[in-house]
Structure 1
């Protein structure tokens, strides 16, 4: 047991492992073929109390005592599949804080029970075709018309976009350049004018659905506004550290078993009548990879402990996000090399993981943007 966790967290881990073994592993191939998680997985996760860890019990949640329970869930999901962890964590780790912390009583009563049960799958729509990581460059608009808001625009690369029942949408609602004048809305996917584009054909992570979303004169009641008008950018910036530490946790949990499998392969695979792991080059490579993973884990655990106490700042979260993504990709790429030709075959997990991991240096803010934030903090 790592020092960051206590007995209650490890007991919860056993519950999650049972869920993964009994429900996710048998559905994994089907999810890959359909390019999204079956709804039954969402419903079962809801029955197990896994989707509402940060939601008060009065709204159907589990009211977990601290964020480390979410971290345990993310680690166990990522150990099976980066895509599965991504789809579910967007729901319980990213969307949940917006609804719980910014939602009105009416919004919480309407959405959270179904959110926690898995009956309402959620997504968050920030990224636009022309904007990418630049969240302040939003072109999607929401304009007042009497007592309504009229939403128009497009979003892309939206995880759970093809299956979501509710989507938190960032839109420009007022004058002002860049970050000024942005607001958030909770959009019911059944509304007229809400349209899903194609399910995007990604290089990796086939188990998760990623889609384009379009809003064509979608009429929203005032009750759809999340938080205050014009504070959307602030709300997003306040909550991005959790998304980024969640990503760092996910990256490391994904790569650890892959490294262990590669070490086992290096012991067994023979070349020139010797295990390939006995050659000095391979031995040194694996020693370096194991060290990098352990050192990175120590830093991410430190960040996790800070976040559980409400003390993780945006710059430290940025450091954890980019570095864990970098280490994950470096480790997997080196493992592919050790597997040789087999490492390039889709039937081997390391090949699929190689494709799955690449996007982690891009999403939740590209690694370059993370370095920009860190550089600014250094006064540069």
Structure 2
């Protein structure tokens, strides 16, 4: 039995927009609470938009393994008044685009007027996703054979993708080198030094096929963005990035184990393959209309998954697409213009979404894609994930 889905565009489309964005530094030095980082990023985002805490009546955030701080605590720290909308999500990197979509729905439906969406964590000096123990019903089988760290799980997915599509380690290298071209222009990025192919292959494996540079940089940081109505956003201090549509998917077989190793039927395709049709239907555009792609990249092959899943290239063609420069600064689809999570830092993809906002607002500085109009951002690399489309709303 199949369930039909509406092809009508969602009611929030065009009615809500992202405005101010805010960042803390991306660091490994520690010494600060997650709450202090959250407050700094939210205050910076409000100041960027020309707003204050008094304007905020909603907050939305997400965490993973209780590594963040609640919206209520942040509202208190900011000095907000009564809130009409609070949403604390879980599930880490699948959430950023989904969190912004939820804020957009709250604004468009009249539940809230101004929602701050943030992600804050001490991902370097606190709980590290890369080395956290993932207890689940199958732990008794995984741990005795040494399958214990998150990079190992993603490596299994990556290897299956490489077997099925013919992708090579040169393709992974191309992703890393391409994104270093962008991160060299990004003052926030932790990794900014250009990388050659020889230098890539000189790096040690973390777990095959991943070398250290194929893995994201864990940092202590916070990132925030303000969501309000499109009409109101046009009167604020920065141009609006209008929310044109988005999608979420929880694939069948999700949630019983880390990386769903025992239930997912095809490791060579991920969540973005399952939501792509709904994403483009909601946004009223297609991959051919996109000027910039910001693809969640906790590990380098996630970019190859995303390019193929969203229809930018044919199955198995993502490696050649990146190697030939088409995803680079001078290519037709600049991809991960902040350098990606691989280089800027791992704020669980919230910074991927805010980079999409900046590109749609044409405020990307030295890494800005000229005349960017339609920008897509994805969140998540395995079974659960989301994506969102922004449009330049200056006119």
When the two structures are superposed, what TM-score results if normalisation uses the length of structure 1? 0.24
Bigger helix fraction:
1
Structure 1 or 2, whichever has the larger Rg, is 1
Higher RCO, 1 or 2 (CA under 8 Å, sep at least 6)? Answer: 2
TM-score (norm 2): 0.23
